Amino acid sequence: MRASGCGLVHCGWRQVDADGSLIRDVEAVPFDYRRQLELANRVAQPGSFFTREAWEAVGGVDPSFHYALDYELWLKLGRRFEVRHVDRILAAYRFHPASKTVAQSDGFLAETVRASRRHGGRFFSPIYVDWYLPRRRPWAYRLVLAWRLLKRREYGDLFRRAARRIRLSPREGDAS
Domain map of the chain by residue range? 1-121, 123-166
**103 C-beta neighbours (distance < 10 Å), count:** 11
Question: Averaged over 96-110, what is the pLDDT?
Answer: 73
Quote the pTM value: 0.76
Residue type, 45: Q
pLDDT tens per residue across span 161-170: 666 665 544 4
Domain 1-121 CATH (choose: 3.40.50.720, 3.40.50.1440, 3.90.550.10, 3.40.190.10): 3.90.550.10
